């Protein structure tokens, strides 16, 4: 390749714009994190460093319960959606192009395109009639809903990984009389694993952060951390909400870092 190929980093003003973008993106978040360690209750005054609000948040039974629900739903949704997404990715890449392939892509990625509130209202009505018929009001509905909208988030990295994988290895395995299961188990799956893990993490984070669909689908006692925080809006927000936000932020950051490491191209 020529040295003079186009690179965005050589455009005039690149660093200025980049710095500005990072400032706009991160200053509010840094402020929030800083104030979660603020001793005083007001948002305008700095009253010294303290971990009091974390203690307040941990001692709040509702917060603990919401955290539990969040974790259960996010873990279950990540497992289910990643399984489905892996099968879907295998089905859409490890074969010749077929009629209706685009339609399948669109269907799998539907949650990325349909406005969340539309899905939320639709699920509200649908689940309400299901609840009426079955009498079951447990967490199953929420796990199902979360699994559904997490599928594309799990699907995209897995598919990207599959498309970047060398088909010759699988062909070689088949040439050496490996059954299709053996090929999958010993060749495809190990190679695909980073993609699957990355997809699972993305799905987990997506489920953990969801507000709109959760707000409409939740049954009594099923507040998650984000809907609990939303409920605080009407009254003056207290810094314990900053503390919860910071914890959610840290969990998200850890998982996204792991995601980045897993999907990093090995050159």
Partner 1 sequence: MLKHTLTATALLMAGTSLAHAEGELFLYNWGNYTSPELVKKFEETYDVKVTITDFDSNDTALAKIEAGAHGFDLVVPSAGFVKIYAEKGLIQELDLTKLPNHANIGPEWMNVEWDAGRKWSIPYQWGSTGVSVNTKVYGGDINTSAIFMDPPPELEGKINVIPEMGDVLALATMYAGGEVCSEDPEVMKKVRDLLIAAEPKWLSMDYSTIEKMVNNDYAATVDWNGSAMRSRLGNPDVAYGYPKEGFGLWMDNVVLLADAKNTENAYLFMDFILQPEHAAMLSAFARYGNGVAGSDAFMPEDMKTAPEIVTPAEFVANGHFVLACSGKALEYQTAIWTELQK
Span of 50-58, 121-129, 166-174, 202-210 interacting with partner 1 by CB under 8 A: 121-129
CA–CA dist 230, 255 (Å, integer):
23
Q: Least distance in Å: CB of 135 to partner 1?
A: 8
Q: Assign 267 to helix, strand or coil.
A: coil
CA–CA dist 111, 153 (Å, integer):
9
What is the DSSP secondary-structure string of 95-162?
Answer: S---TTHHHHHHHHTHHHHS-HHHHHHHHHHHHHHHHHHH---STHHHHHHHHHHHHHHHHHHHHHHH
CA–CA dist 78, 224 (Å, integer):
16
Q: Assign 65 to helix, strand or coil.
A: helix
Indicate the length of the chain as a whole number: 267
Which residue is listed with tokens 């689940």? 127
- When binding is defined by CB under 8 A, the residue of 12, 13, 115, 135 that contacts partner 1 is 135
Span of 61-69, 97-105, 178-186, 256-264 interacting with partner 1 by CB under 8 A: 61-69
Q: Is 143 in the site for partner 1 (CB under 8 A)?
A: yes
- When binding is defined by CB under 8 A, the residue of 194, 228, 243, 259 that contacts partner 1 is 228
Q: Which is nearer to partner 1, 49 or 136 (CB)?
A: 136
Q: Least distance in Å: CB of 74 to partner 1?
A: 10
Interaction mask 208-227, partner 1, x per CB under 8 A: -------xx-xxxxxx---x
Q: Is 79 in the site for partner 1 (CB under 8 A)?
A: yes
**Interacting residues with partner 1 (CB under 8 A):** 42-45, 61-62, 69, 71-72, 75-76, 79, 121, 124-125, 127-132, 135-140, 143, 215-216, 218-223, 227-228, 230-236, 238
């Amino acid at each position: 390749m020529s040295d003079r190929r186009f690179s965005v980093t050589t455009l005039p003003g690149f660093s200025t714009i980049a710095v500005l973008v990072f400032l706009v993106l991160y200053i509010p978040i840094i402020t929030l994190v800083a104030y979660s360690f603020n001793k005083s209750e007001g948002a305008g005054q700095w009253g010294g460093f303290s971990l009091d609000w974390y203690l307040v948040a941990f001692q709040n039974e509702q917060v603990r319960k919401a955290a539990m629900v969040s974790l259960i739903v996010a873990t279950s949704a990540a497992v289910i959606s990643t399984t489905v997404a892996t099968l879907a990715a295998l089905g859409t890449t490890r074969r010749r192009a077929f009629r209706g392939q685009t339609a399948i892509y669109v269907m799998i990625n539907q949650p990325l395109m349909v406005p969340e509130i539309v899905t939320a209202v639709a699920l509200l009505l649908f689940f309400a009639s299901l609840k009426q018929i079955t009498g079951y009001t447990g967490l199953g509905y929420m796990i199902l809903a979360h699994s559904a909208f997490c599928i594309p988030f799990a699907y995209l990295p897995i598919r990207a990984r599959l498309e970047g994988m060398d088909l010759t290895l699988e062909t070689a395995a088949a040439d050496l009389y490996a059954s299709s299961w053996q090929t999958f188990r010993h060749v495809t799956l190990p190679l695909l694993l980073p993609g699957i893990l990355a997809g699972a993490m993305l799905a987990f984070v997506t489920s953990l952060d969801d507000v709109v669909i959760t707000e409409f689908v939740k049954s009594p006692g099923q507040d998650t951390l984000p809907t609990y925080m939303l409920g605080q809006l009407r009254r003056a927000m207290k810094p314990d909400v900053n503390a919860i936000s910071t914890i959610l932020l840290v969990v998200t950051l850890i998982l996204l870092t792991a995601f980045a490491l897993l999907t990093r191209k090995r050159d």
